[in-house]
Structure 1
Amino acid sequence: MRLMSKRLFDRVAVVLYLMMFSINLSSQQLPIPSNIIHKQLDNGFSYYILPNGEPGKIGLYLFSDTGSYVEKREERGVAHFLEHMVFKGSKNFPGNKTADTLESLGLRIGRDYNGSVNDIFTEYRVFIPENNKVTLEKTLRMMNDWCFNLQMDANDLEVEKKVVIEEIKLRSSGGTPFVIGTYLEGHNGLGTAEQINSVTAKDVKDFYKKYYTTDQLALVVHGKVDEKNIIRYIDKLFGELPGTIADNRNKYLDLSKETIVSGEYKNKRADMLVLGFKTRDFPVNTVASFKKDFIYKVFCEMLSNRLSKLPDSDIKKVTANTAVPFTGNLWFNFRLEAKEGASYKTMLDNFNFVIAQARRFGFLQEEIDYYVNDFLKRYKRLATRSEDYLGDVKKHFLKGDVPLSLIDKVKYTQQISNEISPEDFSDLLNHFTEYNKTILFDNTAKAFEDGFDESYILASLRHIEKNAKVMPYKFSEPSSQFAIGSTNDLPEVEIEDKEAGKIKKKVKLGDYLYVLKYDNGIKVVVNNAPKSDTQIKIVSKHGLNNIPQEDRALFKYVVDHFDEKFGVYSEKGARDLRRRLRIYKDVEFGNYNYELSLKGNNNNFSQLIKIFNLIITNNSKPEAGELSESLKRYLKRVTQNKDEYDQYSNYILGKGLEVPALTSQPIDDAIVARFFEYNNMFKRSLKDAYVYVGGELPENVDDLISTYIASIEPVRFNTSVNEKASPLFIEKPTVKEIAWGKTSAKSSFMFSNVKDKPVSFKDKLISEGIAEYGYKRMFQILRKKYGFVYSLGASGYANVSQNLSAVSIRYIVEDKTNVDAAQRAMLEEVLPSMSEGILSEHDALVIKALLEKDYVSSFYETDRVSSDYLKWGLDYGELYTMQDFQKIIRTITEEDIEDQMRRLINPDNYIILLQQK
């Protein structure tokens, strides 16, 4: 036998090495990001600890991989019913102790803790303040009990049936179209009233025992915690759970086992032909599976573009993607919207032509490269943002997809992009139409014609290759006004050089919050908390009350048409610039306040702040004729209805104002000139306002603010109009009925009181605490005792200019036969003790805990810090820190609450706003 030469041996060795390298690369496990802690305990229970939660709060999530789609027909609604029973008591928190404990921590159902059931999972979530070890550990002990130790008392079950049935009445969804033709068709997760009434305690307990086992549950801690201590605590606490491993691996229906064709599919918006090609899903946990998943995405994008650009087709719009209807199932999903006068037969022919063309000539490397690069652009764009892995770890728990950092996603996409070729798509392209299918259409639609049935459709798909006249495809890029561009593609805003304002003082308000005060009186509040929305906003104490009554309605309409052109830009140029930069303007007028905001993203802040400067300093007026025509068009298409509820509420709160209805009227140059002056005063009276700057801001943000905001010269608001309306005085209990276009009825009990001295921020907090206490009383009596209501709400108010405090407590009744009974329960059971100022020491502590939780945990929430927080600063002359809030709340005594509650909850002086048909 001849020996192999050394040179040949070396060549073979290199080839074998490359083959082994390629194999190893493909089987390489994807890495979980280093800042995610993931652990599976010996008993099968999994947990995750995630960084970058919302500042000020920790989110605790208990996930079950059991959703409503595990239910058989006779079980419908049980998963959702079980979710309700979780909060009804457990072994170590029996009876009311679960709700009482959560309440004592300052947590309220719906806002701070809740549960929800999806098709494929159930989620329980609790949001607590950070830096509170006692609250964290107590909440974890309670969630540990939820895993195995629920009580499920038969009496609680009967009361909760009423609540669940009220919820069923509020939701009318018929379920997802993915399950049409299966035993899950029409299942929306709730069941029917009849099914819920037939549920027994045994049904719920059996379901709980079967599906709430350690291997089917996971915990997520999302936020700033002491990682070493919390790992030790979770390991011990959850490691003691019994390690019951259930044989429920295939608990969800396998949709890929049968073909379904249905002409019963209805779409309210358009005639649709849905083609779903069904296979089994797979976890994305290796480089090979990442590549496979990526190829599937590119495959759908390419076919979508080809279908969209097919000449002379009957298809108006195409949506093509891979869909995971629920666990274990994967669809190649094509949703084809019909043109006017189209037929389903022709649409199917159009689809078959595109597939036949691709099979005969293959995909082009040019189009593959385009979509690979398009995905890369998207991932790179996202990689500049703060990462929140909550959704990723949920997918990891539910289907095994490894969470990837955006940087790693870019890296692996680049790694596989150079090796993807037309051959990678051949097997999928040639065989996906052979999969079992779900085909949906509407046999009552205009696009339907006789003969378009199951046999016709399936025969047509079997004989795609009979499209003999297909020609080679010529690629052209998809046309989209929302095409993804890189940061380098962003246009530079043209603006004159500005002389920067001088910072007089910089005051820290929190870890991520500070205020810049300038020599010219401008005050800018800067919020650079992670995941803050990127925006610049003016919050002013001026409102419609500062202009004449006869101008209010028209000015409120036309102000949106001011500042559409600015700087060197025409109206079209300015619109194109904002569109390319994805910058959106919004103007909101209240009776006594004004907000102008520009929203962008963290890639374009330096351009956003320049456009803000150009808009605020803009001196261009719109054309009177264009405004007149715009008004005519608006009045033709819009029916004006006054919001009676808001109108009455405002008058009760001392914030009422006469604003005439908008009517058709000529707009001349004199009106434009007058409104132009109003607009300039609103946006430039910056000494009477705060400017808010928020987002993931650049390091030189202070310099940018000094240059483009502090350089603006403030003006004085001098219309000489400053109308104020006295609060509505009610001499006796009054019911005001208001039309409401819903089948349910909403009752709002409103109480107000005017003091003979200024209303302090402490007074405002006490009013909010009384409202929270009223909410608790309603929950205990209207919902828990009687099951009358599903939805509750409460608010406390203060109007500094009127020395007024107020409370609104409200509820929605779905069954109108309960409206009078609920009102009687309010008057006879909820309100009497409140009107007498009867409050236990525990109740006072709960009220203070609720307030502290709200003001600490919500301190950095964008909607609050960019609006309400600044309005408080204008009202009270001071911007409070988180510590200030805590100090004020801790000075509130039981006697303070009782005294204000006696004054506010007056049984002889209140109004009920009753909204119903």
Structure 2
Amino acid sequence: MNFKKLMIALPFLGWGIVTRAQSIPLDPTVRTGKLANGFTYFIRKNVEPQKRATLYLVVKAGSILEKDNQLGLAHFMEHMSFNGTKHFPKNELVEYLQRSGIRFGADLNAYTSFDETVYQLPIPTDNAELLKNGLQIMRDWAGEATLDPVEIDKERGVVIEEKRLRKGAGERLQAALYPFQTNNSRYSLRMPIGSEKVLTSFKKPDILSFYKDWYRPDLEAIIVVGDVDVAVIEKQVKALFSGMKNPAVSRPRTEYKASLLNRSRFLALTDRELSQVAVEIDYKTNSLPQGTKEQCRQNLLRNVCSQLLAGRLAELSKSPDAPVLNASGGYQPVIKGIDALSVEYTAKEGKVKEGFDFVYGALKQLKQFGFTGSEIERVKTAYLSQLEGLEREKDRQSSTDLADELKRHFLNKEPAPGIAYELGLVKQLLPGITAELIRKEIGSLISDKNRDVVITGPESKKAVLPTESTINSWIAALDQKSDLPYADKAASGGILSQAPVAGKVVSESKDESLGIITWKLSNGAKVVLKPTTYKNDEILFNAFSPGGTSLYSDKDFQSAANAAGLVAASGLGEHDYLSLPKLLTGKQVGVQPAIGERSEGFSGASSKADLKTAMELLYSFFTEPRKDSAVYNMIISHSSEAIAGRYSSPQAVFQDTVAGVLSNYNVRRTGPSLDKIRSISLDRAFEIYKERFADAGDFTFVFAGSFTPEEIRPLVEQYIASLPGGGVSEKARDPGIRMPSGNIRKTVYAGSEDKATVVMLYHGDFVFSPEETTRLSALKDVVQFRMVERLREQEGGAYAPSVSFAREHDSSDRYQITISFGCAPANVDKLIAAAKEEIQKIKTSGGVSADDLQKFKAEESRQLELSLQSNGYWLSYLTTKLQNGEDTHSILGQQQRIAGVGAAEIQAAAKQYLTEDLLEFVLVPKK
């Protein structure tokens, strides 16, 4: 139902919002050019992250260009580019890059859409040879794929499995809905995943024809953004790509677009796996032309309208008596040539008509009266605030974000002048976006000329869903009603009614090796500071205290587990759930309380300017939590309706089965149910929340980001040291939940699609140490390499086998190594056996190859380099170590530990940890 799920959406603040005019200059820091053969290049120096570059090869060719005998071959060609090129035969390309520290899938990747194919390669730049080879790989992708018939046949199974993963209610609905949404244009006949008939039967000449027709220099560009010497890269690009030739006779690259039908339409769809009725109303319109200042203003106007509509519907749907579970809307692209003002809602049980009256009535009110001045002011303020936040980080933007902007510039002529220019233009135009202009624009968009109404729901409700004539009668009746203007309730005052009396920092210690400072506060709380320069304007923080839900009985567990969520949804102090967000308009800030199994605490983020606001929110969550029975009733009602249809979803059935087995069906870990929801008491939840946050004396607060100790100290003393504290010292209790031992297999029969899901879980106790954790991580990576090689490349039976390692810590340490993949039901036993065979090989002498070891070390080492440049990583690392009482200095020796891992150690770890205590879970369709 959501267009954003069906295509790549325009960026929230990109130049699709503003202008694509030739008069808008390209960012002067970008070196660009076009070679004699038409090949285009963009090169930009950027040092975020350091010693890295993002390389894109962008091809203006996608599935829209396929002939009828090529359905799916644009996407298949993307796969084949990783399966043999001139300089990297067969799968040597992936192997080479993995040995260089580049992760397949996570770093090295590509995508194919209707109109383009894009290859992306993040690569280290501190190795000149590696960077040079990265450019060579781009050159190979641009026109030197070998398309070996043996490799084509091996890849068929992989692509079929990728297609299989999409099967389910969403795919069935999309197949029926997409021709309708795209106005029966060519796009509805060219879904990138293609036709299974073509994928299983095409011959090399079919895909070679597509490759030769469309992978040509006048349709291609390379983008290099990163820590590079621009002049050197430009010279290398010219040397590599100038020799490419276009075909003697080039096929015209037709620009396909969808057209409006100039009539209203209706569509109703049902599916056995849907649980609720949803309605979407789309008012389609031609995409706006762009290129002049007036067109820039018009695009900005529509974006403002979009945000205003989203805000109005979000507020309306929060009303306790609203007949909808949720309602949302906005202006968005549908397909090339068509945009739409769209609204959608999920109806409460038995209230489809009431929901339609509610949402359509809101649209009718907007058409007549537009938006209030306070709503408009909030949107403008938030809009500018986000742009200003981006401008403050202009020299800390990620290379990937900048490369994405240049990609859109090449593909869609979307200007990329840089954030400073964009901010200046928006500041110039935004004051002219008046209330009357907005009213006229929203009124022109809400028109029955190109209105589509789509209803989706459970198959069991097919007979009672409204028909087109019913919908038209509802609309006619609503159009006859008179409306009153909307009354917006503006927020006033501050977060706190009065400032707290400040406490003190009573002691300080410094750790020069980690660059952290620790303060002990007068109320007993501890504050750990990690000042950094990774971002110009980013401050992140966590807080934790031992206890959590572990301190409460099973009877109170649901109230305890949901207490923080209920409080956070209710507002704070004098400000209810509607007024608090308005009070924070334009502020880059967020604070969220949480009560977990073993601890309670907070997570938060802010800009430097808004850190005081974040501290006020933190103080208020401790001292002025708000209890709102209307919010509680709404959440319980919505949750109960959502859970009622949960088991129409095969994945939900499977997930709950897995959770039940893993926890020995302990009520604290099993899936949601109506009984659990109904056991939540507002009074008890609020009481538990206040208990958990009554005393800050055993809390630890961790800050990482762009601040100095001198800047943050007055705020810490004012809002953290002033909290009640010093009276308690708690410890979490071990809930005693353990996974079952032995070899257990559980098969779940649910759904009807020809697809299966497999989860293989090894688990047990281990003695924690940084060395042992590194060894387990190495084992996990080696198993991952083997699963991809065996299940994907050799067997062609799984698209994306995944291996994960997790550690659970309470009274002891336990590990989990999980292998998961999707496949055909007929291949489940075969692929499980293949996975076990690979595990056994790792355990044998010589089972860990030199390539396995090199790939692990390169990937882990390179990833650690990147992580250490991230505020988020440091916050997570310090929080985890402090919470578990572990040595925070272990990170200092991690590169040495990675380098020191040997094949024999990984083999020993396999023998120790990949034991017969294996839990197998399989989801297959009902017989």
Q: How does 1:161-240 map to 2 (within 5 A)?
A: 161-171=156-166, 172=171, 173-174=174-175, 175=178, 177-185=180-188, 187-240=190-243
1:401 aligns with 2:441: no
Displacement after TM superposition at 1:235 (Å): 3.7
Q: Which residue of 2 aligns with 1:68?
A: 63
CA offsets 1:24-77 (integer angstroms, 9 cap, x no match): x99982122334443333432222426364567543322222222223443221
Q: How far did residue 862 of structure 1 move? A: 6.3
What does residue range 45-444 of structure 1 map to in structure 2 within 5 Å? 45-49=40-44, 51=46, 53-54=48-49, 58-129=53-124, 131-171=126-166, 172=171, 173-174=174-175, 175=178, 177-185=180-188, 187-242=190-245, 250-256=253-259, 263-264=266-267, 274-278=282-286, 282=289, 284=291, 287=293, 290-291=296-297, 293-294=299-300, 321=331, 323=333, 325-326=335-336, 329=337, 331=339, 378-379=383-384, 381-385=386-390, 386-387=393-394, 388-415=401-428, 440-441=452-453
Match of 2:918 among 885, 900, 910: 910
Instruction: Supply the AA of the counterpart residue of 2:867.
Output: S
Kept in 1, the 8 Å contact 2:764–2:815? The answer is yes
More deviation in 264-273 or 230-239? 264-273
Corresponding residue for residue 39 of structure 1 = 33
More deviation, 71-80/844-853: 71-80
Q: Shift in Å at residue 546 of structure 1? A: 5.0
Larger Rg: 1
Contact 1:106/1:848, CA 8 A, preserved across alignment: yes
Structure 2 residue identity aligned to 1:205: L
Identity within the alignment, %? 16
* CA distances 1:484-508 after superposition (whole Å, capped 9, x unpaired): x9xx998787422413425623446
For residues 377 and 768 of structure 2, the distance between their equivalents in structure 1, rounded to whole angstroms, comes to: 61
- The answer as to whether partners of 2:546 and 2:732 remain within 8 angstroms in 1 is no
Return the offset for 1:295. Answer: 6.4
Contact in 2 for aligned 1:49/1:222 (Cα 8 Å): yes
Aligned match for 2:613, one of 596, 600, 607:
607
C-alpha deviation, 1:100, in angstroms? 0.8
CA distance in 1, matches of 2:294, 2:104: 44
* Alignment partner of 1:596 out of 594, 602, 606: 602
> Who is 2:833 aligned against?
824
Contact 1:62 1:217 (C-alpha < 8 Å) held by counterparts = yes
Find the residue that maps to 1:120 and give its secondary structure: coil
Q: Is the CA contact (8 Å cut-off) linking 1:147 and 1:213 kept in structure 2?
A: yes
Per-residue displacement from partner, 1:146-180 (whole Å, max 9, x unpaired)? 11111111122112111211222222133475523
Alpha carbons 1:525, 1:690 under 8 Å: kept: no
Q: Unaligned 5+ residue runs, structure 1? A: 1-24, 309-315, 461-466
Structure 1 residue matching 2:222: 3-state secondary structure: strand
- Normalising by structure 1, report the TM-score: 0.75
Distance in 1 separating the partners of 2:290 and 2:635? 55
CA positional deviation for 1:832 = 3.1
C-alpha contact (below 8 Å) 2:550/2:732 kept by paired residues: yes
Deviation at 1:659? Answer: 13
**TM-score after normalising by structure 2:** 0.74
Give the direction of change, closer, same or farther, for the CA distance of 1:85–1:290 in structure 2 (3 Å limit).
same
In the TM superposition, residue 123 of structure 1 has moved relative to its aligned partner by: 1.9
Distance in 1 (CA, whole Å) between partners of 2:443 and 2:42 is: 42
Q: How many residues align?
A: 842
**1:737 Cα shift?**
4.3
8 Å Cα contact 1:503-1:518 kept in structure 2? yes
2:104, 2:243 → 1: CA distance? 28
Spell out the pairing of 1:311-710 with structure 2 (5 A cutoff).
321=331, 323=333, 325-326=335-336, 329=337, 331=339, 378-379=383-384, 381-385=386-390, 386-387=393-394, 388-415=401-428, 440-441=452-453, 446=466, 448-449=468-469, 494-501=498-505, 504-507=508-511, 514-518=516-520, 521-526=526-531, 529-530=534-535, 535-540=540-545, 542-546=547-551, 551-561=556-566, 570=573, 572=575, 576-577=579-580, 579-581=582-584, 585-599=591-605, 604-616=610-622, 618=623, 637=641, 638=643, 643-646=656-659, 649=662, 662=676, 676-680=690-694, 684-686=697-699, 689=700, 691-694=702-705, 700-709=711-720
- Could you tell me whether the CA contact under 8 Å between 2:591 and 2:604 is conserved in 1? yes
Between 540-549 and 656-665, report the one with greater CA deviation: 656-665
Q: Which amino acid aligns with 1:677?
A: E
2:855 matched to 1:841? Answer: no
Amino acid at match of 1:34: P
Deviation at 1:275, TM superposition (A): 4.3
Note the C-alpha offset of 1:114.
1.5
Which amino acid in 2 is paired with 1:49? Answer: R
Partner of 2:906: 897
Structure 2 vs 1, CA of residues 710 and 73 (structure 1 numbering), >3 Å: closer, same or farther?
Answer: farther
SS in 2 for 1:877: coil
Tell whether the 8 Å contact from 2:801 to 2:822 is kept in structure 1 after alignment.
no
Deviates more, 1:333-342 or 1:419-428: 419-428
Instruction: Tell me if the contact between 2:55 and 2:224 (Cα under 8 Å) persists in the aligned partners.
Output: yes
Contact 1:656 1:725 in 2 (8 A): no
Residues 1:857 and 2:866 are matched in the alignment? yes
2:799 pairs with 1:790: yes
C-alpha change, 1:95 and 1:292, in structure 2 (3 Å) is same
Native 8 Å contact 1:759 1:798 kept in 2: no
Give a deviation string over 1:185-241, Cα, whole Å, max 9, x none.
254321221121132222212111111122222223344334444344334334444
Give the stretch that moved more between structures: 851-860 or 152-161: 851-860
CA deviation profile, 1:585-644 (whole Å, cap 9, x unmatched): 54444444544224556663220122213323x277969x99998998688555699945
Between the aligned partners of 1:876 and 1:266, the Cα distance in structure 2 is: 55
> How far off is 1:389 after superposition?
3.4
How far the C-alpha of 1:537 sits from its partner, in A, is 1.8
CA distance 1:450–1:406, change in 2 (3 Å): same
Corresponding residue for residue 16 of structure 1: none
Aligned to 2:321: none
Contact residue 58 and residue 129 of structure 1 kept, 8 A: yes
Name whichever of 216-225 and 786-795 sits farther off: 216-225
Q: Indicate the SS of the match to 2:509.
A: strand
Contact 1:28 1:287 in 2 (8 A): no
The alpha-carbon deviation at position 767 of structure 1 amounts to 0.6
> What amino acid does structure 2 have at the position aligned with 1:237?
L
Evaluate the alpha carbon distance shift between residue 208 and residue 864 of structure 1 in structure 2; reply closer, same or farther with a 3 A threshold: same
Q: Is the 8 A contact 1:541 1:593 kept in 2?
A: yes
CA distance in 1, matches of 2:600, 2:312: 48
Q: Which amino acid aligns with 1:910?
A: L
Write the letter of the residue equivalent to 2:618.
F
CA-to-partner distance for each residue in 1:829-869, whole Å, 9 max, x for gaps?
44333355622223212121122133222345566444355
Preserved contact between residue 491 and residue 581 of structure 1 (Cα < 8 Å):
no
Letter in 2 for 1:77: G
Amino acid at match of 2:734: E
Q: Is the 8 A contact 2:495 2:616 kept in 1?
A: no
